[in-house]
Copies of this chain bind each other. A is one copy, B any other.
Amino acid sequence: MQARFDPPPESGADESPAQPNPRRDFLRRGAAAGGLLAATGIGAARAAAADADAPLAVPPWTRAPGAPTGGQPYGQPSAFEKHVVRHLRPNDKQYISSSTRSPLQELDGIITPNGLFYERHHGGVPAIDPAEHRLAVHGLVDSPLLFTVDDLRRFPSESHIYFLECSGNPGYNVYGKTAAEANGLVSCAEWTGVPLRTVLAEAGVQSQAKWVAAEGADAAAMTRSIPLEKCLDDALLVYGQNGERLRPEQGYPLRLLLPGYEGNMSIKWLRRLHVTDAPVYSREETSKYTDLMPDGSARRFTFYMEAKSIITAPSGGQRLAQQGFHEIRGIAWSGRGKIARVEVSVDDGATWHDAALQEPVLSRAITRFRFPWNWQGQATVIQSRATDETGYVQPTLEALVAVRGVNGVYHNNAITPWRVAATGEITNARIKAT
């Protein structure tokens, strides 16, 4: 079939609702039967022509063979998507406390591609030869054991889709201009590995054991104490992420994965599991990752990340090009289990409406939500509020601060409100309008 059509009209200024647009007007008449176009003004859609056989230009890329098959043995994104990268915060203190954020505003669905999965490092990204890597299990066990990665791959395996979130997402730095800046320290993937309980059973955990200290092989020797109950529940020794081996920045060749726990406890580049009868009180569970309360006391060991959500489209830095239908899209997650409900407000919190949840809704995984919105050009604030299966409801920032004060920087699961200007510009509502 070599249909020949006229060149399609260029997209551009003629789509501004402020100007007359014959094509859009034609469309609105023509599509009356349809409804969504007319009712919501997806005005950029155009009649190809009054005559269905009228010519549509054959584009240049149809006129010559494309790139050879297999030219990229490991495929890469289109050159037109170079702007979709992880966000590196300016002036990050490399090797001490550094991170990159997933570009949430550019993503769809619930799976974060490995190349865009958020990063949080305390000593940079080590380049580990998997043949030389070892995992030691010792302490209060009958048989101290040492494993290669290949040893662990031989154990019975499981695969689960779980989110991972940094407990400092976003901290009380809630002024991020984009969804990535505001809440991009969360991602979701399908993880494959060995249940930790299987390996602990091989070592034979002794009766006085209550904690397991996990240590990474990075330059920070990142170390956290984990309650034994979690290690015997759903903890995984992970070597696979989204089908392939872990990426270096995600702990290659081996990491711990503690579903629902704050991300830093899922120790990357895992080299040691020390079974103990008490926490080791490492730097990362005393001077860091504790919540400093108004009375100056530090709340230790906040393991589970509470229910949270954020609207990713439309979101900060984006613009509503015209009035009419816009699907509000976002993500929700809870360390406590499944997301039960997400509500959306498009009138600065005056009223709330249930959003649709994309199936499958999985425990401790990101859930995608959507809400249809017909924007009439008014200035307003849009926001989302998640409820998990325990009945816990995502709080406002004001409610969080009333309890915790402003000393703390971790475990901020507050609602993120986006301001919509009459121009269609979207900004973080916490940034005072100028």
Contacts and interface: CB of A to CB of B under 8 A. Distances in A.
A179 interface: no
Interface in A310-353: 325-327, 329
Contact of A123 (B35, B56, B66, B79): B66
Interface in A143-185: 143-148, 150-151, 154-159
Interface of A: 1-3, 5, 8-9, 11, 27, 30-31, 33-37, 42, 44-49, 52-53, 56, 59, 61-81, 84-86, 88, 92, 94-95, 98-100, 106-117, 119, 121, 123-134, 136-139, 141-148, 150-151, 154-159, 190-192, 198, 201-204, 213, 215, 217-219, 221, 223, 239-240, 242-249, 252-253, 269, 271-272, 274, 280, 282, 325-327, 329, 358, 360, 362, 368, 370, 372
Given A127-B61, A150-B44, A158-B358, A243 B34 contact: no
A34 B66 contact: no
B202 A71 contact: no
Contacts of A239: 108
A204 B112 contact: no
Nearest to A154: B42
A209 B112 CA distance: 39
A75 B119 CA distance: 10
Contacts of A247: 75-78
A42 to B, nearest CB: 5
Contacts of A213: 1
Contacts of A124: 65-69
Contacts of A99: 69
Contacts of A157: 108, 327, 329, 370
Contacts of A245: 77-78, 81, 84, 106
Tell me how many chains of this kind the complex includes. Answer: 2
B150 A221 contact: no
B244 A242 contact: no
A75 B249 contact: yes
Most buried by B among A107, A129, A243, A358: A243
6 contacts: A47-B145, A61-B126, A69-B98, A109-B242, A157-B327, A157-B370
A132 B202 contact: no
Nearest to A194: B327
Contact of A66 (B65, B107, B126, B326): B126
A107 B108 CA distance: 23
Contacts of A33: 142-143, 204
- The 9 A-B pairs of least Cβ separation, nearest first, read A66-B124, A73-B85, A70-B88, A30-B143, A34-B202, A69-B98, A61-B126, A108-B192, A108-B240
Contact of A159 (B146, B204, B368): B368
B327 A107 contact: no
A84 B240 CA distance: 13
A109 B69 contact: no
Contacts of A66: 95, 121, 123-127, 218-219
Contacts of A42: 151, 154-155
B217 A62 contact: yes
Given A2-B221, A8-B134, A106-B244, 12 more contacts: A31-B204, A36-B198, A45-B202, A48-B145, A52-B138, A61-B127, A69-B98, A107-B244, A108-B239, A108-B243, A113-B113, A156-B372
